[in-house]
């Protein structure tokens, strides 16, 4: 039995769709990147009470009072502010996605990565390496390819192949935790000579006093 050409083309298209690798990423990642942080919480409009956390279980930005009133047992991400950018700690984010090749910044002795790129005008010069997605200038182009998390996610969506690192990290993949350098204490050498106890010399042979 010979199938019509249209049927063969349809089956071939379905096979290609099945053969394409599925892009895996956390279900909450897109909503997390779209959220606006550091705005005043509408439920708790106290002074300087900002939405600087994200509840993964509820898919929403929350403040410190929101967490204490209904999100105590939920998984939350702390969002920081660095040079007008919303950033997150690598040590935290690397548990959920592969943060390799994303431009890193240092903020208050903490390594962070940006959620989204900053708006920029114009394009970079030929001598300047830029982000593979948004063409924003990279500080260290020899180490990184993307300026933010969203740029890497977009690149993976456009190029689902082995050339782009996976969004989901390996189970055994852990981010290096960097902390302040603690100077090591100086220890005395094992073979160093210890000071010898000082000997007291006897003044002389004792003599008993006469009885009479």
Per-residue pLDDT of 164-179, as tens digits, reads: 555 655 444 443 333 3
96, 26 contact by CB (below 8 A): yes
Q: What is the pLDDT of residue 37?
A: 96
Per the model's pLDDT, the better-predicted residue between 12 and 88 turns out to be 88
Helix (H) or strand (E) holding 46: none
| Domain chopping of the chain, boundaries | 25-158
Instruction: Tell me what the pLDDT averaged over the chain comes to.
Output: 74
Ramachandran angles phi, psi of 152, nearest 5°? -70, -40
User: Quick one: how far is CA 92 from the chain centroid?
Assistant: 5
Give percent of the chain above pLDDT 90: 43
Looking at the chain, list the stretches that DSSP marks H as alpha helix, in order from N- to C-terminal side. 5-19, 29-34, 64-70, 90-93, 149-158
Q: Is the pLDDT of residue 189 over 90?
A: no
> pLDDT of 124-176, one tens digit each?
555 568 999 998 999 899 999 999 999 999 998 887 555 555 565 544 444 33
Spatial distance between the Cα atoms of 6 and 9, rounded to a whole number of angstroms? 5
> pLDDT of 31-66, one tens digit each?
999 999 999 999 898 777 899 999 999 999 999 899
* Whole-model pTM over 0.85: no
Per the model's pLDDT, the better-predicted residue between 140 and 188 turns out to be 140
Name which of 62-66, 73-77, 203-207 the model is least confident about. Answer: 203-207
Q: Is the pLDDT of residue 22 over 50?
A: yes
pLDDT band of residue 183 (cuts 50, 70, 90) is very low
65, 46 contact by CB (below 8 A): yes
pLDDT band of residue 118 (cuts 50, 70, 90) is confident
Give percent of the chain above pLDDT 70: 60
Spatial distance between the Cα atoms of 123 and 135, rounded to a whole number of angstroms? 7
């Amino acid at each position: 039995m010979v199938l019509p050409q249209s049927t063969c083309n349809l089956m071939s298209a379905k096979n290609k769709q099945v053969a394409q690798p599925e892009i895996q990423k956390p279900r909450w990642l897109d909503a997390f990147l779209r959220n606006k942080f550091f705005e005043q919480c509408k439920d708790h409009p106290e002074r300087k009470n900002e939405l600087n956390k994200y509840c993964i279980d509820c898919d929403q930005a929350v403040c410190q009072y929101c967490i204490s009133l209904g999100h105590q047992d939920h998984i939350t991400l702390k969002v920081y502010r660095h040079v007008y950018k919303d950033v997150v700690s690598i040590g935290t984010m690397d548990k959920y996605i592969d943060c390799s090749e994303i431009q890193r910044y240092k903020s208050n002795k903490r390594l962070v990565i940006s959620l989204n790129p900053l708006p920029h005008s114009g394009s970079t010069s030929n001598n300047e390496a830029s982000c593979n997605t948004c063409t924003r200038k990279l500080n260290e182009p020899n180490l990184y390819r993307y300026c933010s998390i969203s740029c890497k996610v977009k690149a993976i969506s456009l190029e689902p192949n082995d050339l782009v690192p996976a969004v989901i990290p390996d189970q055994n993949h852990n981010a290096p935790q960097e902390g302040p350098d603690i100077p090591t204490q100086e220890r005395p050498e094992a073979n160093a000579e210890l000071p010898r106890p000082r000997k007291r010399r006897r003044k002389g042979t004792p003599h008993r006093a006469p009885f009479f």
